[in-house]
Structure formats: C-alpha cells, structure tokens
Amino acid sequence: MAKELVNLVLDYLKTLNVSYGDVRLVRIQEEVIRQENGKVNLIRQEEDLGIGIRVIKNGAWGFAATALLTKEEVMKTAKLACEIAEASARLKREDTKICEIMPVKDTYQTPIEIDPFSVSLEEKINLLMECDEIMKKVKGIRKRESELYFYKKYQIFASTEDSFIEQTIYHTGGYISAEAVKGTVTGSRSYPGMIGGHYKAKGYEFIKELKLKENCERVAEEAVALTKARECPNMETDIILDGTMVAIQVHETVGHPTELDRVLGTEVSLAGTSHLTIDKLNKFQFASEIVSITADATIPGGLGTFGYDDEGVKAQKVFLIKDGIFFGYLTSRETAVVLNQKSNGTMRADSWKSIPLIRMTNINLLPGTWELEDLFADTKEGVYFESAGAPSIDDKRLNYHISSEIGWIIKNGKKTEMIRRPSFSAISYELWRKCDAICNEKYWEVWGVPNCGKGDPTQVMHVGHGASPARFRKVKIGG
C-alpha cells in the first residue's frame, strides 16, 4: 500500500511538468518510559505517519505534506507542492540547480541484536525501578529519575530520477539522574552524562551496555556531595574536558558552522550564519595541528548513521577539519553546486512533514594518543569538566559558553577538590587552537545527541559525535 502510494505520486508528478520531484513516506514510532521517585510518571507510545513531497518546478522549490494517506489527498498534496513551487519561482533570480547522482534502488536497516519494541514493558520498567531503589538508598537524595527511549523510523524515499530506497533506522537510549538539595543549593548528577542521556543506533542491547544500575550509587553520592561543593572560581587555567564536553563542543563549534546552507545564508531567519565562509576553505587555521574532525555517516552506532540521506545520496565520510585546517563543509545536492562538488549526503528531515535540511551526521574528533591518567599527570594546575550541561553560542558560532554538572580542581597532576557547575567561555577557533592533547581510541565514544534544533519551523534531529577527553591550555573559566 505504501509503495503503491509513493509510485502513484511519482507518476502524477511526471504529468505536472516538474523538473525534479521526490517523495518520502515516513512512519516513526517512539516509546518513552520514565519514572520519578519510584513512580512511573510517563509511558507513552507515539506514532507519526505521513508523506512529504518536494518538487522543482519553474526552476524553484515547492514542498507539501499530509498525514492523510488516501489517493485523493496525496494527489492534492502533490498539486499543492507544484503551486507552491510556482509561487517561489516568481521571486527567483536563476533556476535552482542540483548536482547529479546515480539513481539507487536499495534497502538499509540499522544492525540491531534485540528489537527494542519487542522487549516487554515489564522488563523496561523493572530496570528503571531497580535503578531507583539503588539511588534511594543514598542519604540526602531528594529526587531520582530515570528514563528509557526507543525510536524506529521506516522510510521510503523515491524520486523522479528513479531512485527507490527503503530504510529502517533504530535508536535506543536513556539516562538516570539524582538531585540533592541543601538550603538553596541543588546538587544534580546524571549518567551517562550527556544532556538528557546517551543514545545510539542500536537495539535494546544498548540499554544493557549502558550499565545504568552500576552507576546509580556513584551518581547519587556525587549529587549529595555537590550540595557542599564550592562554585567555580573565576580564573584562566588549563582545562581537561571529558568526552561529553568535547562532543558538545564539536557539535556547536564545528558541526553547525560547517553546514553549507548556513554559510550561504539560508538559515539566517533563526539559526544564523557562520564565520567559516567559503574564502577560508583550505586556508584557515581553525585548530591546533593535532585536531582532525570528520563527518562520518558510516560508523556503527552513531545517531547520524544511515544508508542514504533524504536526497538519496549514499552515506559518506569526509573531513571538515584536517590537521587543524578548515577543510570541508556538510553539503546537499543544491549547495554542492556552489563548490562545484558532489553532495556529501547530509540532507535529512526530522519527519514526513519537514523539508530536508543539511544536518550533522556523526561529527567526530579523531582520537589522539594520550592515556587519560597521563593527561592528568601532565597537568600541573587546571580544572576537569565532566558531564556536559547546556551550551550557548552566538549566531556566527564564535563566542561559545558551556557548563558541566561537575568539575574537579587539578593540582600537581591529580584530581583534588570537587566544584559545582563549572563553566567557561571562549572564541571557538581560539579554543581549538589551544588543544594540545587528545586521548586515544580506548576513551573514544560516539555520543548521541537526540535534540539538535535547526530550521524554521524548528526540526529536531538525532546526530552523533565521536570524541575522547582532550586538554585545552589557558582558558578563562567561571563567570
């Protein structure tokens, strides 16, 4: 039925004089289970099903989408996409061009061991309750939370260029958190230590790999200890960031500013532009020479891993930063034309109702050579930042600010006193130029960010970041 509907739309588009058309039929299933202080306060299963139709007609783009999957409604929607393109065309300066690709007929599925939607609700809830019991035993804890999240997307992508691709993507993740309060001070700790948890393109086996129960006691004890910890001092010092902090820094200061659509101004209305303009490509010393960063949609387990993007372009690995030099962009079929290149396959939409945009895939800081203990031993004075908090950055991606849940003063090569919510701010490329040590592959993890916002209206995308702990010299920390 779904394939018939997609083919019906494609045949109809060919009669409407479009120069290009694509259709995405998407079904997303999500399950969220959450407990707080031993009570389940959310079990929700969601289903989002619909069709999105994108065309180039009269040299301009049009897009229309509907959740009503009847023949009559989808034909009406295809016609609306064309009317919208005709309206766009009245203000065009030149015809829209997209780079050529080879048509593809293929299927792709996230490799999983256990389908998370086949695991019983009881098993999932039992795990959350066991976590709660462990955290509850730690004296001084006021609030305990834990959550599991499962995502499955089935998509057909088909185009008037004869591509027809079916993909099934699974994402799985969760978190635990504990909160203690003393007077007006709250101590909050979570695990696995990324904003809202850790997620991977895996099945239920990932929940077992997360070792949530094994970390409950430590998380709760640290939450209590944080209520007694002092605030972050204001000073300039060396900082060591854990993998989650590095991942968010890669996201905000490398992933977003290398999106070529931003660079070309098409995200000004909300997300902004980028300081990494085309004149800086292959010339700009963005980071120290030990820093190389890739966009890699092919690595196992990343939230930005897939078979093909939402333009039917095969998943790829490309360099964005190579040996510290700004080396490349994330591109689409339309923006690649500006660079006289082929698309590197990063167009994704968060739903059938959204138009594809350039989105991060897995943006990865390649591992270095350091052992973490050697890195501490080599740092005379500094602060270790652990578990990323919320970042903030200007609309050209220069002035970057972030805090972490917990920090540790480093003195004479050792972690000493705990500090609460340390923060730092810096100009992004100046910060990367101060990077003088990156930990090796033993510490490297592909962190999942399930809530990357972009577009207007905002689309929420799942993206990944490979990172290991790293050191940055002489950074201004505190308020």
Partner 1 sequence: MLKKEQVNEIIKIAKKYLKGLEWEIGIDSTNTGTTRFANSIIHQNMGVHRPFMWVRIINKKRIGSSTTTDLSEEGIKNLIERAINLSKSKYAPKLETSLPKKTKIEKVSKKIVISPKEREEAVAKIVEVCKKNNLNAFGVIHTINSSLAIFNSNGVNNYALLNWTYTTITAMNESASGFSFAIEKDFYKIDFKKLANIACEKALMAKNPKDIEPGKYTVFLEEPAVAEIISFLAWLEFGAKRFYEKTSLISKKIGKKITGKNITIYDDWTDKLTLGIPFDFEGVKRNKVILIKNGIAKSVVTDSYFAKKLKMKNTGHSLMQPAPWGPFPLNLVFEKGDKKKEEMLKSIDKGIYVTRFWYTRVVDPDRTLITGMTRDGTYFIEKGKIAYPIKNMRFLINIYETLENVKMISKEQKYYGEELFGVVAPALVIENFNFQSKTEY
Please list the alpha-helical segments (H only) found in 193-270.
Answer: 205-210, 212-226, 243-250, 260-263
Sign of the CA dihedral running 373, 378, 381, 385: negative
Please list the alpha-helical segments (H only) found in 41-185.
Answer: 71-89, 121-136
- Backbone phi, psi, residue 377, to 5°: -60, -30
x/- site string to partner 1, residues 136 to 165, per CB under 8 A? ------xx----------------------
Q: Is 418 in the site for partner 1 (CB under 8 A)?
A: no
Using CB under 8 A, which residues numbered 285 to 324 contact partner 1? Answer: none
> Using CA atoms, how far apart are residues 475 and 76, in angstroms rounded to an integer?
57
Structure tokens that stand for 5 in this block:
């509907």
Structure tokens that stand for 278 in this block:
């085309």
Structure tokens that stand for 283 in this block:
């010339």
Query: DSSP secondary-structure letter at 470?
Result: E
Reading phi first (left if > 0) and then psi (alpha if -120 to 50, else beta), residue 455 is in: left
Position among 218, 317, 421, 434 found at the interface with partner 1 (CB under 8 A): 421
Size of the site for partner 1 (CB under 8 A): 80
Position among 40, 112, 225, 281 found at the interface with partner 1 (CB under 8 A): 40
Query: Do the bridges between strand 381-388 and strand 235-241 make them parallel or antiparallel, or are there none, so unpaired?
Result: parallel
Position among 398, 415, 434, 473 found at the interface with partner 1 (CB under 8 A): 398
Q: Between residues 176 and 299, which has the closer beta carbon with respect to partner 1? A: 176
Part in contact with partner 1 (CB under 8 A); list of ranges 13-21, 103-111, 365-373, 387-395:
387-395
> Using CA atoms, how far apart are residues 48 and 71, in angstroms rounded to an integer?
19
Q: Is 133 in the site for partner 1 (CB under 8 A)?
A: no
Beta bridge partners, 112, equal none
Closest by CA to 20, choosing from 82, 73, 89, 102, is: 82
* Smallest distance from partner 1 to CB 365, Å: 22
Q: Is 451 in the site for partner 1 (CB under 8 A)?
A: no
Using CB under 8 A, which residues numbered 183 to 212 contact partner 1? Answer: 184-186
Q: Is 436 in the site for partner 1 (CB under 8 A)?
A: no
Q: Is 62 in the site for partner 1 (CB under 8 A)?
A: yes
Using CB under 8 A, which residues numbered 209 to 238 contact partner 1? Answer: none
Q: Half-sphere exposure of 398 toward its Cβ, with a 13 Å CA cutoff?
A: 7
Q: Which residue type, as a one-letter code, is found at position 218?
A: R
* Smallest distance from partner 1 to CB 271, Å: 9
Position among 39, 72, 100, 283 found at the interface with partner 1 (CB under 8 A): 39
x/- site string to partner 1, residues 347 to 386, per CB under 8 A? ------x-x-------------------------------
Q: Is 258 helix (H, G, I), strand (E, B) or coil?
A: helix
Q: Is 469 in the site for partner 1 (CB under 8 A)?
A: no
Q: Between residues 374 and 395, which has the closer beta carbon with respect to partner 1? A: 395
Query: DSSP secondary-structure letter at 203?
Result: -
Contact 437, 370 (CB under 8 A): yes
Q: Is 456 in the site for partner 1 (CB under 8 A)?
A: yes
Position among 8, 36, 140, 281 found at the interface with partner 1 (CB under 8 A): 36
Position among 41, 369, 416, 451 found at the interface with partner 1 (CB under 8 A): 41
Using CB under 8 A, which residues numbered 73 to 112 contact partner 1? Answer: 77, 80-81, 83-88, 90-93
Q: Half-sphere exposure of 354 toward its Cβ, with a 13 Å CA cutoff?
A: 20
Neighbour tally for 27: CB within 10 Å = 17
Part in contact with partner 1 (CB under 8 A); list of ranges 31-39, 205-213, 360-368, 373-381:
31-39
Part in contact with partner 1 (CB under 8 A); list of ranges 242-250, 312-320, 407-415, 452-460:
452-460
Part in contact with partner 1 (CB under 8 A); list of ranges 178-186, 317-325, 340-348, 377-385:
178-186
Q: Is 468 helix (H, G, I), strand (E, B) or coil?
A: coil
* Smallest distance from partner 1 to CB 197, Å: 15
> Using CA atoms, how far apart are residues 26 and 66, in angstroms rounded to an integer?
11
Q: Is 215 helix (H, G, I), strand (E, B) or coil?
A: helix
Query: DSSP secondary-structure letter at 139?
Result: T
Q: Is 427 in the site for partner 1 (CB under 8 A)?
A: yes
Q: Is 48 in the site for partner 1 (CB under 8 A)?
A: yes
Position among 269, 279, 282, 283 found at the interface with partner 1 (CB under 8 A): 269
Q: Between residues 305 and 459, which has the closer beta carbon with respect to partner 1? A: 459
